[in-house]
A = this chain, B = another copy of it.
Amino acid sequence: MALHGKNFIAGQHSADGNQNFNAINPAIGKTIDPLFMEATDQEVDTALSQADAAYDQITDLTPAQRADFLDAIAIQIEALGDDLIDRASAETALPAARLTGERGRTMNQLNQFAQLVREGSWVEARIDHAIPDRQPLPKVDVRRMLVPIGPVVVFGASNFPLAFSVAGGDTASALAAGCPVIIKAHPAHPGTCELIAMAIERAIERTKVPPAIFSMVHGQGPEVGMAMVKHPLTKAIGFTGSLAAGRAIYNAAAARPEPIPVYAEMGSANPIFVLPSAVTDRGKQIAEALYQSVTLGVGQFCTNPGLVLGLRDKPFDQFIDLCSQHFASAATGTMLHPGIGRNYQSRMNKIKDTSGVDLRAQSLEKQSPTTTCGPAGLFVSDATTFLSNSDLSEEIFGPSTIAIACNDIEQLYESAHHLPGQLTITIHGTEQDLEEFDSLIAILQRKAGRLVFNGFPTGVEVCPSMHHGGPYPATTDARTTSVGTAAIQRFSRPVCYQQFPQSALPVQLRDHNEMEIMRLVDGKWTK
């Protein structure tokens, strides 16, 4: 499938700028054709202005039309066939099997949001009928539901070129909420982005939704993205990536004349607590599964466990030994792009140079190109060192983890208190452990968005109960999730209608509950 390298501006392919760039194959360090054209400020403005101009048409789409559009995107993504997998693999070094699985997840997300929109209860409809003869004042008729927040800018993530990129979770949830979406394509996989944008274009044609519902622009540096963040018509931002980039976007959005919400998911260390009885009972299994979780996808997951905490005793020492055997025999993977490779290597060097931290095991195999080399690593340290070096609790984006031995329960609790906000925290324990460490869950609940028991945080289930978010610096908005159907809430706001005639009310708020959605009517939940 031939790629054109242009920007997608509300149904037009546009290449007005004079800056361009290539994708790079990280496995061989060579550029890949074609050239991609960076968007100009004018192209960004056109995308937002067209989205705004078509806003009424877009929000007037019925729930069924929105759902059909989402399902059609999934169909068109599947129709891209091996071209998509091949291009994504060339741009990211991710294996075909992983990308095929991720494509399935991406389609599943689109279908789940389609189903959510068709079912319709997500609008949180509430109705309070009038009581004209209430004393001392009559009660007016008041009804409320969620409406789309406005044009949404989505930054594609590098580590999920399908499931958190052009048609990923942020896009699916924003479209489901009824918003037009303007994508900042990730410059590490621009060809994959273009293929997905083509699929969305075809879905727009097939389901006859307004073309301005979707735009996608290219840009290698931060300039294009910042123009999108600062554009007055942008009403919300979805982002998955690094803390530095996420915070820069958050700061720019907060400094706008009209501040807007930023949903930045910036990863975390995802600590694993391995408690004494669990280590004694299942140390071998936990060690193997931990190694698998840390090295999965060359450790390039937001939920990758970068910390392991336990009580210093003989079973824990044996557990560390078992872990180190796994890490020493690990293959060296290829990372997504040279920038990630360099950051990972410099982070590893910094950890290694920290007094009190020991690099216990590392995959030894060498690789070329070295800039995208991702060797697995197991560091070992103690709680005193951990508590006095706060950078040890930061995310490691790559296949390494730091094991921390605590002298006693108090030091383990202190280490738990010391943690910054996390997407996930995991406990491996027995019932006996939970009794003995009875304050641990309460401490950890204040720190994380998801608590995992006797499992691993990698592999995030896409379902209504999932919460993929957590206190800062894991995200900029701990009240929201970027995985699972609750993600739709990010792109909506309530509107309340007082004393409106039935005919002027949205269908979801009329007395006759035509869509049969769950509503809170005069304080009672009812369909």
Binding site for B on A (CB under 8 A): 55-56, 59-60, 101, 121, 126-128, 136-137, 139-140, 142-144, 147, 149-150, 250-251, 254-255, 258-259, 261, 421, 431, 434, 439, 441-442, 445-446, 448-455, 459, 461, 463-467, 469, 471-473, 476-479, 481, 486, 489, 492-501, 503-504, 518, 520, 523, 525, 527
Contacts and interface: CB of A to CB of B under 8 A. Distances in A.
Copies in the complex: 2
A261 to B, nearest CB: 7
Contact of A450 (B448, B481, B492, B496): B496
Nearest to A60: B442
Contact of A259 (B250, B442, B449, B523): B250
Contact of A461 (B56, B140, B454, B489): B140
B499 A128 contact: no
A102 to B, nearest CB: 13
A107 to B, nearest CB: 14
B451 A497 contact: yes
Contact of A478 (B143, B448, B493): B493
B259 A453 contact: no
A144 to B, nearest CB: 4
Nearest to A144: B465
Contacts of A501: 431, 434, 453
Residue from the set A434, A439, A451 with the largest chain B CB neighbour count within 10 Å: A451
A192 B143 CA distance: 34
Given A465-B144, A479-B492, A452 B259 contact: no
A464 B381 CA distance: 52
Nearest to A130: B461
21 contacts: A60-B442, A126-B486, A128-B461, A140-B461, A142-B463, A144-B467, A144-B486, A250-B254, A250-B259, A251-B254, A254-B259, A258-B473, A259-B472, A434-B501, A441-B504, A451-B500, A453-B497, A453-B499, A467-B495, A467-B496, A479-B493
Contact of A463 (B128, B445, B504): B128
Contacts of A55: 446
